[in-house]
Structure 1
């Protein structure tokens, strides 16, 4: 059986390791996605890393999770996120632009690219033919800083369709 799209994407972005299930691999990341519930810590981690400018092709910070609150805390977080995005050259998507994962697919999704995101719906970009992996904030920050993401090579399953489709499909 030939290689799956997932195998090809991993191979194209492999920096280190062997593509054997369970083995540690390192992947080069093209894009990152953060949202306001996780992005504040990511931006603080970038500051701690001493980053001058994002090293990814595209990094986007979305404000779509913590929109309303009875005090000023969310508004202050959003102002911090906007200023951090200016500092690091990261796209800033303000409140009202839409939910991070579908907006990212529509505006920035590119088949064949790799992406990590600190949002649980990040893997949805896999529907575009991207290698899209949900990660924690530190991993997202390291990817923005140009570091590879380390993970265990997954066991990849496939589905083989046989026969012919009916004429109406």
Structure 2
């Protein structure tokens, strides 16, 4: 009996847009003030087996952190005019571990990718795919419970940054 080499699964994903009446730079500054960049020292601790110390530091973290970001608007300069568009990876390592311990494939969606963009008409908005809809494919009550809280935390911080 041979294993499947290639498998495709269709899932329904809910896409969210949170609009802002504020300028792009103000929304970006507000988001980055509300959600701090994660301290990479936590990953160093884990790499060296300091799990108890890393757990203590992870438990002290806020609900969400910025893992990284990319200036997608600068990339557009290759194809035309530069635009305001930043992709963020936002999440929490402890939250991710609470899901991936039930299904390692959930790691594909943690952290969550969030786009802050300004369209051609000057409208500023956040866009992201709802965590509960992405993680729902794993059909796990434990993962769904964590994803539901992540969904609430993410929406709250993005709405606050957009306000």
TM-score range, shorter chain: under 0.3
Identify the structure with the greater helix proportion: 2
